[in-house]
Structure 1
Amino acid sequence: MMGRRKGEVLKSFLMTLLAIFVMFIILFPVYYIFTVSLEPSSTLATTELHLIPRNVSLDSYREVLFGFSGGKVSENFTGTIEGSAYIKDGKLYLVEGTIKGKVKYGPFTGLVFEVPVKNKVFDVSAEKNVQGQLKGEVRGVFTLTRINEDGTIGFAVIKDVELKSGTVDGTSVSGPMEKYVVVRNSGTVSFTAIGKFVNSKFFGYLKNSLIIATLTVLLTLVFVVPASYAFSRMQFFGREHVLYFYLMFTQVSGGLGIAGLIALYGMIVKLGLYDKLPVMSLIYAAGSVPFNTWLLKGYIDSISPDFDEAALVDGASYLQIIRYVLLPMALPGIATVAIFAFIGGWTEFVLASLLLTGNNQPLSVWIYTLMGGIGRGIDWSYFAAAALLFALPVFVMFMLAQNYIRSGLTVGGLKE
């Protein structure tokens, strides 16, 4: 007896160790990408493997959420201009000077910059020729494309510059600049906290993903809940075969691959629905309806029909039965369907990259574009932080819904 008990304890211990090892293998990629996101700068193109980060830093998360990630900024600015200049024949010639400007978002300053300029011409229509120091106020459009690591401007263009008011040796001047200013690896730019937040690419793409995933969940439930109830409770021709045929057909059509994508793309363009977020949700919901209907039907089958019959006797309609009887009792199954629909809308990449462009793309497409097609040349810390933040909403939703799934509701026959 004692030997048998020891054998059971040893077996339980070995099974626990095996479970821990399996979980370690499954979760190790997540842990490793987390360690990469904590290092100031990291690369995956190396034979070194650091299980514990050497220099822990949250800079990558800060840059993803609130930092300028190299995306294009094109905004109106106001500022000042100073430098040596002369006026001749109604034109102001700026020999050498500096433009200082600021971009404002409402009452808040978003960014400030300072750019050296040379040999620029303004149409000022001045009557006399003078030479001296130019001081004045300007406005225009500041387009920033790249920032160097030392804070200098990598590449920017200042265009539509207008000298609002200024003086050269006591002579008042105003007028437009004839050409634009191109800035390469010179000048300085700095973002305020407000500017970093506004210009963060993450939140714009996050909004798109949330819109797509939320609409996908709502549309899926609108179609799946009534359909599941009908297949579970009602009698009609082909009831035993329609759902399974539909489910198998969607799986076969999904195997058509590129041909199916081309057909879908052609229909979307012909209907004028290209680059529309709600259309993506409708497509995702349509693709998930067969499987989720089959899934929820199985759960409703476990609920005794006696509840429906009791509600019918009390005068309830079918819609009232679904709302007041079915929904509360089938909540764990509905939560599972909602999770699957949300994950499908949140993580889908191929259709989103094909049917959405630019600022309408979701986070999944944006994260892919971070690689730029050159895996060895990207900032892997930044990429890892973005990937983990992308996965966070799915984790949060699962944690919020798991109580419904795990605890469930005890359904069965009525007690008589």
Structure 2
Amino acid sequence: MGRKRSEMLKSFVLTLLAIFIMFIILFPVYYIFTVSISPKSTLATTELELIPKQVTLDSYREVLFGFSGDRLMEDFEGRITGKGTIQNGKLYVTDGTLIGTVKYGPFTGLKFEIPVSRATFTVNGGSGSGDFSGNVKGTIILTRINDDGTIGFGIVRNVTLTEGTINGVKVSGQMDGYIRARDTGKAEFTALGKFVNSNFFKYLKNSLILATLTVVLALIFVVPAAYAFSRLQFFGREHILYFYLMFTQVSGGLGIAGLIALYGMLVKLGLYGKLPVLAFIYAAGSVPFNTWLLKGYIDSISPDFDEAALVDGANYFQIIRHVLLPMALPGIATVAVFAFIGGWTEFILASLLLGQESQPLAVWIYSLLGGIGRGIDWSYFAAAALLFALPVFVMFILAQNYIRSGLTVGGLKE
């Protein structure tokens, strides 16, 4: 009885210890979550709130569907009204208003209104003055929208007056110069417009392309290589993979020199800023470890299956496709997950070898630490960081059984 009680006490103590260690490990994640759901005003404090007193999802809403000062340049159609005067082939519009709409396909993405103190159009004849209205189209550039919905800074240019009327006279023409809006007018995104113009989704697309290409390229190289090292006999078979692994680890000490050389080569070849090129680099870097990992799994699969397929007339590619891939699926899934995480989370090469338009989420989130003209918005940053980590978490949850068996080399036995 005393021994049973001792075992129960030991189990209880170990369970408490495991819970404590898990709490220490997961506490940073929990804390950043509390920051992400806290109002911005509560962050400027030295108090540590384990349970927030105020909860809001505004930061997540702003990350996913917010225009956060990024540059927007889109074509629009609209209407301009005001007081008009035509003199010497010029139409002068004063005390007017420009109302425009940006469409994405058949759907409205943005509506805006800008007061026009003075605008000049070159028109095809006519004279007189009076109330003016006309249909226009052009390009609007927005770099900031204030919290109250006014346009912090925007420019309307390349405006064409398709059809205007002043005192019953129809005119058309091209606007000279541009219209500037600073802390005036108003701009309102629709739900679709917020989605399209969200920084998060723009960089999310780049991350998905980069990580997916990395997985595809890694599997193309790793699967045949792992099969060759596991099944085929060739000169240097016992040493090449060891040498490859050691070389890649040692070369890590030459990181800065390697980055400079890599940057110089890509610039010389005109490949700077290309997502597929960076995916190829990621895949190449993941080949040694993943080949070693998958080789160990294939070693646990009986070669009798290969021999039976050879007797039936299959070639090596058919063996890989129809025999190896189904049986080695846990190992292949593990390689795919590791390759995806590598392409999704890598920061240094992405920040060095990609331009702003093609940068992934990891680089964009880092740029948030520099703020957008108002210091570091920790609530916004925390929400973006958790959303960035979510795909990796979901992938682990969905593939955990494959990963467990892949890492423990639980293949088929004879």
- Pairwise CA RMSD of aligned residues? 2.2
Residue 186 of structure 1 corresponds to which residue in structure 2? Answer: 184
Q: CA 1:403 to 1:42, structure 2 compared with 1: closer, same or farther past 3 Å?
A: farther
Residue 79 of structure 1 corresponds to which residue in structure 2? Answer: 78
Residue 151 of structure 1 corresponds to which residue in structure 2? Answer: 149
Question: 1:367-389 deviations in whole A, cap 9, x for unaligned?
Answer: 12222368981222222222111
Q: CA 1:313 to 1:175, structure 2 compared with 1: closer, same or farther past 3 Å?
A: closer
Matches of 1:167 and 1:413, distance apart in 2: 85
Number of aligned residue pairs: give it: 412
Q: CA 1:335 to 1:42, structure 2 compared with 1: closer, same or farther past 3 Å?
A: farther
Report SS of the residue matched to 2:185. Answer: strand
Question: 1:374-410 deviations in whole A, cap 9, x for unaligned?
Answer: 8981222222222111111111111121122335685
Question: 1:45-104 deviations in whole A, cap 9, x for unaligned?
Answer: 641222223332222222222222221111111212222233333322223211111111
TM-score of the superposition, structure 1-length normalised? 0.92
Matches of 1:372 and 1:339, distance apart in 2: 31
Residue 301 of structure 1 corresponds to which residue in structure 2? Answer: 299
Q: CA 1:289 to 1:34, structure 2 compared with 1: closer, same or farther past 3 Å?
A: same
Matches of 2:344 and 2:78, distance apart in 1: 43
Post-superposition offset of 1:282: 0.9
TM-score of the superposition, structure 2-length normalised? 0.93
Residue 95 of structure 2 corresponds to which residue in structure 1? Answer: 96
Instruction: Please say if 1:68 is aligned against 2:67.
Output: yes
Which amino acid in 1 is paired with 2:36? S
Which amino acid in 2 is paired with 1:100? I
Residue 384 of structure 2 corresponds to which residue in structure 1? Answer: 386
Q: CA 1:150 to 1:212, structure 2 compared with 1: closer, same or farther past 3 Å?
A: same
Greater Cα offset, 108-117 or 63-72: 63-72
The answer as to whether partners of 2:113 and 2:185 remain within 8 angstroms in 1 is: yes
Post-superposition offset of 1:259: 0.6
Instruction: Please say if 1:223 is aligned against 2:221.
Output: yes
Post-superposition offset of 1:247: 0.5
Instruction: Please say if 1:49 is aligned against 2:66.
Output: no
Q: CA 1:312 to 1:162, structure 2 compared with 1: closer, same or farther past 3 Å?
A: closer
Residue 275 of structure 2 corresponds to which residue in structure 1? Answer: 277
Which amino acid in 2 is paired with 1:249? F
Residue 233 of structure 1 corresponds to which residue in structure 2? Answer: 231
Report SS of the residue matched to 2:129. Answer: strand
Matches of 1:21 and 1:207, distance apart in 2: 38
Post-superposition offset of 1:192: 1.1
Q: CA 1:8 to 1:74, structure 2 compared with 1: closer, same or farther past 3 Å?
A: same
Structure 2: runs of 5+ lacking an equivalent? none
Alignment of 1:339-350 (within 5 A): 339-350=337-348
Question: Could you tell me which of 256, 259, 263 is aligned with 2:257?
Answer: 259
Q: Percent of aligned pairs with the same residue? A: 73
The answer as to whether partners of 2:371 and 2:377 remain within 8 angstroms in 1 is: no
Report SS of the residue matched to 2:394. Answer: helix
Matches of 1:239 and 1:127, distance apart in 2: 87
Post-superposition offset of 1:340: 0.7
Question: 1:286-330 deviations in whole A, cap 9, x for unaligned?
Answer: 101011111112222223334333444444433333233332232
Matches of 2:107 and 2:412, distance apart in 1: 61
Residue 372 of structure 1 corresponds to which residue in structure 2? Answer: 370
Structure 1: runs of 5+ lacking an equivalent? none
The answer as to whether partners of 1:85 and 1:96 remain within 8 angstroms in 2 is: no
Report SS of the residue matched to 2:239. Answer: helix
Q: CA 1:256 to 1:99, structure 2 compared with 1: closer, same or farther past 3 Å?
A: same
Greater Cα offset, 76-85 or 388-397: 76-85
The answer as to whether partners of 2:43 and 2:378 remain within 8 angstroms in 1 is: yes
Residue 357 of structure 1 corresponds to which residue in structure 2? Answer: 355
The answer as to whether partners of 2:74 and 2:140 remain within 8 angstroms in 1 is: yes
Residue 5 of structure 2 corresponds to which residue in structure 1? Answer: 6
Matches of 1:14 and 1:80, distance apart in 2: 74
Report SS of the residue matched to 2:59. Answer: helix
Which amino acid in 2 is paired with 1:319? F
The answer as to whether partners of 2:39 and 2:379 remain within 8 angstroms in 1 is: yes
Residue 142 of structure 1 corresponds to which residue in structure 2? Answer: 140
Report SS of the residue matched to 2:40. Answer: coil
Report SS of the residue matched to 1:257. Answer: helix
Residue 176 of structure 1 corresponds to which residue in structure 2? Answer: 174
The answer as to whether partners of 2:122 and 2:173 remain within 8 angstroms in 1 is: yes
Greater Cα offset, 225-234 or 390-399: 225-234
The answer as to whether partners of 2:331 and 2:405 remain within 8 angstroms in 1 is: no
Which amino acid in 1 is paired with 2:22? M
